[in-house]
Structure 1
Amino acid sequence: MTKGISRIWTVVVGLTLVGLTSCGEPAPPVGATEDLDGPHRKAAGLLARYDYDDAVQILESVVERDPQRLDARIDLAIATMNRQKENDEPSALAMLDDLHARHPEDLRAGFVSAVLHLRAGNDAIARDRLAMVLEGDESDPFAWYHYGLSLERDDPEAAAEAYQTAVELDPYQRSGWYRLGSVAARLGDEATADAALATFERLENNPRATTVRPIYGRLGPKSMARPGGSPPKDDARPFGGAWSLPEPLAIVDGSPNWSSGGRGATPAVADLDGDGRLDIFIASALEDSSPNAVLLRVEDGYQLATEHPLAVVPDIEFASFADIDQDGRADAYLAGRGPNRLFFQTGPGDWTDVTTATNTSGGDFDTRDVAIVDTDHDGDLDIVLANADGPDAILNNDRDGRFTDVTETTGIGGDAGSRRVLAADLDGTRDLDLLIIRDAPPHLVHLNDRLWNYRHDDLEFERIRNADLMLATSGDLDGDGTMDLITADRDGDVQRWVRDEFGVFEPRLLHSFEAPPDNLAVMDVNGDGRMEIVTDSAVGLSSPVAWTPMLADPENGYGVIAVTDSGVPQMIAPGPGRFAFTAIELAGAEDTTQAMRSNADGIGAILAARLDDRWTIKSNLRPDAGPGQSRQPIPFGLGGAESLSYLLIDWPDGLFQGEVPGVGDAGGDGASLAAGSVDRISEIQRQVSSCPVLFAHDGDEFRFVSDVLGVGGVGYLLEPGVYSEPRPFERFPMPAGSLAPDQNGRLRLVLCEPMEEVCYLDAVKLVGWSLPEDWSLAVDERLAIEGPPATGEPIFFRTTLDPVTAINDRGDSILPAVTNADRTAAPLPRLDHRFIGRLDHEHVVTIEFDRPIPTADGPRTPWLLMDGWVEYPYAQTMFAAWQAKASYDAPTLEARGADGAWFVVQRTFGYPAGMPRTSAFPLSELPEGCDALRLRTNQEVYWDRLRVVIGESAPPDARRVTLPPSGAEFSAIGFPKRIDGPQRCPDYDWSTRSPLWDVRHQRGRYTGFGDVLDLVSAADGAVVTIGPGEGVEITFEAPPGADSMHWILDNHGWCKDRDRFTRDGETIDPIPGEDVRDDEARILLQSTRSRIEAGR
């Protein structure tokens, strides 16, 4: 121990000597009944999926049947604590206090109760209990972290030493680094503070990093469920080698005439006939009229399919496989000398040459390598060509069945002389860069800045550009979340490239061979979860040879399919000395009713597999140096366990998703993640960004109302270089009955962020109108595109014209759907499944009235009121649509005059700005005798109710009240459960809130939790920064007659999502509102930004 730690340990011992006789002893056996092990394990799985309510119910049943089952009683308290219903935390603390009194030796009861006492402000009690825990287990970094919290107020020096111990025990504990930096700064130790906070920031995107929070999964192993009956893990690796000896590939029915020597004969694997088994393609492998070997897997080996469409294509040297057309089947890009060929698998085993139709030949060049990846992160797969005798190329997928050569636009072309292409995140910025290896240096490093922009001369890569490289691949060798660049040079040196103190990449020698290997791969060889570098010699092959990894048997991990100079394919099967594996197959788009966000194969995703206390991190990219590309599952070694503990997936679109063995979305059956299984995991198509969500207390409870500030989106991309202009205010008309005083005479609202974005809330007030019984109120609100801007002014009316007929573009009568605001909207035409929020063709709604609409006359003005909601496209979607020249056409309004002619009132006037709400548009320029209106749009706008009202001046006896907030409390309220209704109509359940969800904070300094009334009382640019899982409860003193008033919520603020294409989407900076922020507001803003968040 260091001197500082010894000082703390003295304190710990002093605190724990009194009254302890058995601290550190294991908990005594408690009469577990074997038939309760299953329910207990199920509850643990539900906890891991944040389904706390069901876990509580199961554990209550377990405890009722076996009250002596101590671990189940502690787990019940843990589940109750996390459920976060009213009085859950006090109930959990009471349970744990009782358990701690009865079992003071139990470290879990002591630790979790100490955490809750800290939350309740009982630092002294927490400190005593944590001291007991640390005497029993001094190696727990979570206990040291919380011990530091308990000391921080009274003894900051001892707290700093506790945090130092925590990060020494767990260098990936981000929270410990942050608290250490903060306390060190307070103590004047700037060197320690700077180093600690730098480490905190460096760990932001590391999946191994831990953020300590008082919620399940973030408090360490003592706060995790501990079900009985779990099978023991076998840590002993099976006896034998990792590789079997090479054997000739077993060919059924025939003796192929293999071609020896020369270029080509490069193998790749994919399912070529749709039977779920991996087949083999070897280019130019045969001395026959069908030069390519298509080897289909059969019961006893492989059958040569000489008549297969891929077998007969000449001059092919390799193939790249991927699901390019997003139909769930492998497609093939065959490349070599001369024009390349693209084949789509249109049915199981049915192949069609679509080269001409898709414009994908790539020209008459000698192509040496092909990567099929989503280069621009727009949700589809593009094709990157490395050419030996011409410029390299990117063929961009336009999503209309054709590809466009964007080489000149991106600037990646270069001169002749390329031999390999590597797609990887070389600079750690969450997008795919390109390394083009040339026959001779300098090589080409193209760093992706998105929107088809690349940097080509970054000085950090200078040594790489000028190294004498032959091969390159990437993989995470040490599980730190950063993909390492691995290369082989002409001298036979295999090197790993690491950044020096200035950020410049330098080589580190790993292996040295007499000659460069023929291929280079990063894989888990032994099944222990550790990634290793594999070369020809490691698998028992000698040069010259072409080989690629092949997952023929998912339970045993990668084997190798190879072709030596003799031309005879060799299979190197996994050896007996391996732990078992599980395998993952990703699917970015399986539900054809959902629009696409990630490519169908999930290519480019990052998978982080947790196995006990170890991480294995892989990218869903080619695991070797090529050429070509296989399409097969991704294996993960289990190290003797029956399954992975859990799996995290960072999809190419930036969506984050967790998988727990056996527990699927919404509590259904999920991936097993077990030995020998191949789990196909689809991206959960959930809304990860929109706008801040509003809940209102209706006198009984909080209920979901809608979202707000949709007009205030910051950094939203319309097309490259063009961003939307946010409007920093919205006046939202509260639906009737949604807001009423509670039993204490207060009006209460919650504005929160249940998605992956930040809200900058500047000011909130309530405006109430007391109107005569026959009067109503609307607001001039909409997301205005063209025409008059939305003013937010109230619209008073007592005359309503409902349509008597309503017809859509298909000739269907839809009158019931548009005459009641019941969240059953007019049915839409077919969706354009390429793009979120876009229709396959225009939606037209024509409404007719039984009399002409009065024309505007002084203060009497007709208004079109539109109840409805919209499915927003993301910035990524807008970029993809821009590429495809697919426009989003906002609603246009037309009117029919007395002569029967249609007149355009306003093109693209706008739409309801988010979830269900009422929007309005003035009808001040209608033709004479207008008795019909027509709306047309190709956006996914749901019209729930359409009507015309006649706006008038406020009635003389109208009474207006303006309520400033009387209180505003900011906290981590959790994530209310989202319920998706028909027609994408959302709802949220306030009573069911999870403290965690698969989202990440944008990097930056957020507002500290607590009282934020000063921040929301004036529109002055001093904002509350609200991140995922956080919200502000705002209270107002209800005036007399509040129940019958018409309420308008006057919001000022902005929001910004974390989409890859949102401007500055990775960070909460710059904070909007600078144009209205004076010195006083600036000081207030900075003084309250006391909380650093980044990532998970």
Structure 2
Amino acid sequence: MYRSHFAVFALCLLTALGSNSGCRKKPADTNGTTPSGSGESEATLVKLNTALAATENLEADQAVQLWQQLGQQLPEDPSIELNRALASVLRVDDLTAIATDSVKTKDEQRAARSKLPTAIDVARSAIQAYGIVSGDEVTKLWLSTRIDAHEAALLGTTIGKSLRKELLQRINQAIAGPLGKDPHAVILGGPLTELLDKMSDPVDGLPKDILGPAAETLQRLSDANPDNLFIAMQALRLAIDGRKKTAATLVDRTWDLATAVEPTLRAYTKPIGIEPKELADRIKQSITDGDWAKADQSYVLWSNVLNPLEIVRADRRRANPHPLDRLNFDVVRRLSSEITNKSPIGASTEPLKFASSAVDVGGTVTAVLSIDFDLDMDLDLAILTVDQQLKLVENAAGKWSNYASLSLKNQPLGLIAADLFMVDSSDTDRIKQSQSAASQESSSSARHNTFQGLVLYGEGGVQIVRIDARAQTEADQRLAYLDDETGLESVAATTAVITGDLEGDGDLDLIVGTRDEGIRVFVNRGNRTFFEAPVKSSTVAKDDPVADFAIGDLDRDIDLDVVAIHQSGLVSQLENLLHLQFRHRELKQVPALPVAENDTALTINIEDVDSNVGWDIIATSSKQSQVAFANSSDIGVWTVDRVETSKGFPVAPAIADFDGDSYLEMVGGKVATRLGPWGIAEVNEATSVPNGLTAAGDFNGDGKVDLATAGDNLQLQLNQSADKPGFVKVRFKGIADNAAASGRVNHYAIGSVLELRSGPYYRSRIVTQPETYFGLDGLARIDNIRVIMPNGLTQTLREPKINSVIEEEQTLKGSCPYLYSWDGEKMAFQTDCLWAAPLGLQVAAGVVQKDRPWEYLKLDGRSIAPTKDGHYDLRLTEELWEVAYVDHIELIAVDRPADMQVWTNEKVGPPTVAEPRVYAFRESELFSLQNATDTNGDNVTEKLSKSDEVYVKGFDRRLRQGLCPPHWIDLDFGDRAAKELQKAAEDRRVCVVLRGWILPTDTSLNIQIDQNPELPSIEFPSVWVPQEVDSEDWKQVIPFMGFPGGKTKTIVVDVTEHLLRDDPRVRIRTSAQIYWDSASLAIASQDADIKQQVLPLNNAMVTFHGFSARSKADETRPESYDYGNASVKPKWPPLRGAVSNFGDCTDRLSQWDDQMVVISGGDEIRMQFEAPANGPPEGYQRDFILHCVGWDKDADLNTLTGQSIGPLPIRDMRSYPPTFDSAAEFDAIADRHDASRRRRQSFRAFWQRGDLPTDAFLPTKESR
């Protein structure tokens, strides 16, 4: 009985939505819903599921066949007819691509051409059928244009030219007429510009009879869509070609829109010595002067500057969507709703019942907030009272009492809770729960243990109040304003505030809605002080204040966006363009709500109402509530396909699953509604909740969501609704001890996504407070809950217990590609690679770390054995959220005398300290430690005497991951070494041999450290020696000696010119998070009796490996990986662009020639090197050196171009990413890789619906 709701939404786990108001229109002779029987309806939903999955996997033939069958079952259904048309168009796209692809064989091309006439006829028929049942002329024209353009490309030049001219005339007429006023008509801009590109002569451009009308059309389209930079640029191009003075206004428009990413623009144009504004002004001045040749020349520069930017890419996608962006979900919701209504407990109209009780707080309450301020697992309350008091009201097992109060400087409008410190901050002002105050149960490492603060806002601006709920704190010290300046002092009258980690650096930033200055963004330095980031608003008036905010990754591109509802009822989006760049724009897909004057019921929320793995927007006012059902079919895509409306609320409603049925309800005063795939269903009987601002939470711990209501006094509304068995409450904790390049997640994981799955059943929510509730409607078990954190990292909680509070702590993550080798029994983990060649890694804002693409890694011969067929089998895997670009790999066998050790220069550093070199030391030339001490003076001689993975941790605390207070090891090699040094010849080299590993910062942490003036820069390892013999004073002799890259490696530091011959002591000092395993001194001759031979690379293949199981012995040791125990499920969000095809890649790795292999999450390169015919000479042993040339790019949100696989690096690049002066060189390399990179990561394989099988990769022609 209790599975029916989940069964319904499981059948709703389908594919992408489209954006089309016409799909809501029902044909005259059908109800547009389902077959009569519930069982038949469910079977139809299963077929819909299969059809949509086939469409998204680009299995066009199967998809078209299924949609045709569904069209017969549900005749004249607009949703099905649209999807049938889209699938038919995709089939024509695919066949045309094959027919015109020079990489394909002639037979493949001919076969595709033979199928095209029928496919085109089927597509036109489907488009026509959709137009008839929907009345949607915009989509009909858009799809028809796509088919006609394909046909024109396939026909001869004369016929094709004529067809394109007719097609252009149709688009011009449509946009000039009533159709051009349709807000969806922007999608005609893409086909129009593509058509004009085809019609333009490379020398003469467009004919005059085409240029004039086309320029007018693009001008109209830009005027109707003034926030679209792509359309504005296209309109400007034709206006200049047509010598129209109106081009000047389009220059202004392009510059106005481009200022949202001005910092990125400035970096791009810096190498050519010109500011972006200067370039725009040149175009405008040339237009004013009538110098059209100069205007055209400057436009080309302007276009080349803007076109690579993410903002233009996003606007191009809005103007030219992929057919998958428009898949429609409407029929699925209707079928689901029908099944739910026929279910015994489906679409319940039972009232929501609450038992009211008053809590005496000594005054009228104006605002209320649920918060576990003392971290005892009982939800408490924070309230504002009419007499300017802030109070904490404690819930002690159901007994409520005043806990603390603070007299305020002014009367706030509202308050929110937030931990505004960096997740691993050791700031002394950050108050943590004392161990004595915590219960025994709360000693779990997964328990939240830092107190949130309160952010108050209103006419007096924004103030921060700290909470200290430790048991020993005096009552009058439990609440207090911050004494120090915060950077928020300039904020005037404020109407709304929300927090979120907008830059992915592990702390919560503030987004502030002001009364008179629009939206302002304040970036957190990690210590409760802020600086402001500019916000560009293109289509939203600053005098229309925000009433409410919601935050989430709306378009599934990982960075957090903010949506807002304004006092006018308008809905807007603060679009995150990364690197502290934001664009505030009207969200046209969501209609504005009707509002009353000074409407107090304005709210906005982001939820997945219909469980289709796409975020929906719920908005309310006193006059209306609405749900904008939407979906994401790809990275950066968010499309609304239906809007459902209902009556409004007397006050701002709370939204939660109040009856435990897995669907959400809204309760505001006596009005309650239910949300689901059906839309909004009104609850017939009024609730007993009084009209007042409310806060939701399970206050009595019975697994049902209650309410607290503001008013003449504080009112508790305990939920008495009928029980629906099963719930789970999730508390997720960002940790303070991540491994390398793991990024940061704020302590309470705000902004993360929680996905609950059981078989095909799916629910998801965005974490907006410490505890997130899921009602389970009788579900017997949960398979897993997946967490997608704000920085893109994922973690899965396996089989969590039902009817419980789940506390989970973020786990660790490694970095860089991994190298495995066959050791005679298994593929064994060797080390990580490409550590010295990070791409786009910012060490401070706008400062990019230099890369060194080559490395020589020593591999222990004991861990590499030949296979039965005489090969050495090595595997390079990419298992993390990053991209590896491998240009050349070489394996060198090194035969050495048995009493000799060889090492390479495995340092991270510039070539001056890490030049390629093989060091060879006989055992008689190595001197062990006589004594070693750490920073505290503790003896660590035993730990450093041998390489045994017993590490010295020289620091006792961290300032941030990768950044510690300065620490050191003092190494004394004793009398024996001193005597050898004194008699050593001049030509003998003296080196310190160090073995260790580093836990580094990452780009986001570097940015965070750079933002915080209280944090020092990292001091990388340096070498110090005594000022004089026997002195305890030290002097620095090598400022930067390099450091071991990643997992445990050995580095050799030449100290020949620096070590005191009579006092062989050395201090190694750093503030990096380095763990040392061993240290020794080598006094060696220059010559070494070693034999090297390069082993032929016989075969190399790109294949899929997956993600190896990880293990970690203790906190001082690096992780290791079990190759034989790997998961094949996608672990990381997909990246834009294409990676190398599966198959042979031997030639691409044979030399360093800008012909590279590109791999990402789960890929591997399998390499077979030919083993020498003979073993090492007698008395010798064999080791190996891996010479690798390549780069690695982390997908960290602060890595430059980190969310894209392109651009490909090049050998002679001066900087990365490319700037204006180098873009052509990078493009040329990308073009050379076009045929070898036809594989992209599947969006749907990661953002999966239910347990549907989805290909992990999809073919593509996109390469950049």
Structures share fold, TM-score greater than 0.5: yes
1:613 has 2:764 as partner: no
CA distance in 2, matches of 1:450, 1:637: 35
CA distance in 1, matches of 2:391, 2:534: 37
Other-structure match for 2:990: 862
Q: 2:1197 aligns with which of 1060, 1075, 1083?
A: 1060
Other-structure match for 2:893: 768
CA distance in 1, matches of 2:818, 2:737: 27
Relative distance call for 1:180 and 1:777 in structure 2 (3 A) is farther
**If the length of structure 2 is used for normalisation, what is the TM-score?**
0.62
Check conservation: 2:732, 2:770, Cα contact below 8 A. Answer: no
Which SS does the other structure have where 1:876 is aligned?
A: helix
Other-structure match for 2:1025: 895
1:753 has 2:878 as partner: yes
Which SS does the other structure have where 1:750 is aligned?
A: strand
1:1038 has 2:1163 as partner: no
1:699 has 2:824 as partner: yes
Listed as ranges, the matches of 1:130-141 within 5 Å are none
Other-structure match for 1:304: 401
Measured against aligned partners, the alpha-carbon deviations of 1:204-256 in whole angstroms (never above 9, x if no partner) come to 9x9xx9xxxxxxxxxxxxxxxxxxxxxxxx974399755444543254xxx66
Check conservation: 1:558, 1:574, Cα contact below 8 A. Answer: no
Other-structure match for 2:173: none
CA distance in 2, matches of 1:447, 1:145: 29
Q: 1:576 aligns with which of 717, 722, 734?
A: 722
1:808 has 2:934 as partner: yes
1:511 has 2:638 as partner: no
CA distance in 1, matches of 2:610, 2:851: 44
CA distance in 1, matches of 2:608, 2:452: 28
CA distance in 2, matches of 1:857, 1:272: 70
1:1024 has 2:1157 as partner: yes
* 1:438 shift after superposition: 5.4
Q: 1:959 aligns with which of 1091, 1111, 1119?
A: 1091
Other-structure match for 1:600: 747
Which SS does the other structure have where 2:1148 is aligned?
A: helix
Which SS does the other structure have where 2:482 is aligned?
A: helix
2:734 maps to amino acid: G
2:731 maps to amino acid: E
CA distance in 2, matches of 1:201, 1:950: 67
Which SS does the other structure have where 1:615 is aligned?
A: strand
* 1:970 shift after superposition: 2.7
Q: 2:470 aligns with which of 325, 347, 352?
A: 347
Listed as ranges, the matches of 1:240-319 within 5 Å are 243-245=351-353, 247-251=355-359, 258-259=363-364, 265-284=366-385, 291=389, 294-298=392-396, 301-305=398-402, 308-309=404-405, 315-319=411-415
Other-structure match for 2:915: 791
CA distance in 2, matches of 1:801, 1:891: 22
Which has the larger helix fraction? Answer: 2
Check conservation: 2:1102, 2:1144, Cα contact below 8 A. Answer: yes
* 1:524 shift after superposition: 3.6
2:775 maps to amino acid: G
* 1:913 shift after superposition: 0.9
Listed as ranges, the matches of 1:346-425 within 5 Å are 346-347=469-470, 350=473, 352-357=478-483, 359-360=485-486, 362-363=488-489, 366-388=493-515, 396-399=523-526, 402-407=527-532, 419-425=547-553
CA distance in 1, matches of 2:1226, 2:56: 36
Relative distance call for 1:610 and 1:536 in structure 2 (3 A) is farther
Other-structure match for 2:134: none
* 1:281 shift after superposition: 3.0
Relative distance call for 1:777 and 1:166 in structure 2 (3 A) is farther
Relative distance call for 1:495 and 1:241 in structure 2 (3 A) is closer
Measured against aligned partners, the alpha-carbon deviations of 1:273-303 in whole angstroms (never above 9, x if no partner) come to 4432122333106x7xx9556443355x543
Check conservation: 2:571, 2:590, Cα contact below 8 A. Answer: no
Listed as ranges, the matches of 1:156-167 within 5 Å are none
Other-structure match for 2:1065: 932
CA distance in 2, matches of 1:953, 1:509: 78
1:477 has 2:609 as partner: yes
Stretch moving more, 813-822 or 611-620: 611-620
Check conservation: 1:149, 1:159, Cα contact below 8 A. Answer: no
CA distance in 2, matches of 1:646, 1:913: 35
**If the length of structure 1 is used for normalisation, what is the TM-score?**
0.71
Stretch moving more, 959-968 or 1035-1044: 1035-1044
Listed as ranges, the matches of 1:421-820 within 5 Å are 421-426=549-554, 428-435=556-563, 439=567, 445-456=573-584, 470-488=602-620, 492=624, 494=626, 496=628, 510-511=644-645, 513=647, 517-531=650-664, 534-539=667-672, 540=686, 545-552=692-699, 557-564=704-711, 566-567=712-713, 569=715, 571=717, 573=719, 575-576=721-722, 578=724, 580-589=726-735, 597-621=744-768, 631=769, 633-661=771-799, 671-672=800-801, 674=802, 676-683=803-810, 685-687=811-813, 689-784=814-909, 788-798=912-922, 799-820=925-946
Check conservation: 2:571, 2:591, Cα contact below 8 A. Answer: no
Relative distance call for 1:921 and 1:459 in structure 2 (3 A) is farther
Aligned residue pairs total: 888
CA distance in 2, matches of 1:1055, 1:597: 20
CA distance in 2, matches of 1:396, 1:941: 30
* 1:600 shift after superposition: 1.4
1:778 maps to amino acid: W
2:815 maps to amino acid: S
1:1085 maps to amino acid: H
Measured against aligned partners, the alpha-carbon deviations of 1:887-915 in whole angstroms (never above 9, x if no partner) come to 22211112236554644222133201111
Measured against aligned partners, the alpha-carbon deviations of 1:548-581 in whole angstroms (never above 9, x if no partner) come to 32333666543332234x5462526252275643
* 1:184 shift after superposition: 7.6
Other-structure match for 1:237: 345
CA distance in 2, matches of 1:702, 1:592: 26
Which SS does the other structure have where 1:949 is aligned?
A: strand
CA distance in 2, matches of 1:167, 1:860: 83
Other-structure match for 2:963: 838
Stretch moving more, 412-421 or 923-932: 412-421
1:331 has 2:452 as partner: yes
* 1:269 shift after superposition: 1.1
Relative distance call for 1:682 and 1:360 in structure 2 (3 A) is same
Which SS does the other structure have where 1:710 is aligned?
A: coil
- Structure 1, gaps ≥5 residues long: 1-135, 210-233, 622-630, 662-670
1:1085 has 2:1085 as partner: no
RMSD value, Cα:
4.8
Relative distance call for 1:459 and 1:531 in structure 2 (3 A) is closer
Measured against aligned partners, the alpha-carbon deviations of 1:924-951 in whole angstroms (never above 9, x if no partner) come to 5326536221111111112212223346
Measured against aligned partners, the alpha-carbon deviations of 1:578-600 in whole angstroms (never above 9, x if no partner) come to 56432222222387999982111
* 1:738 shift after superposition: 2.3
Measured against aligned partners, the alpha-carbon deviations of 1:362-393 in whole angstroms (never above 9, x if no partner) come to 44855443324334321123444444478876
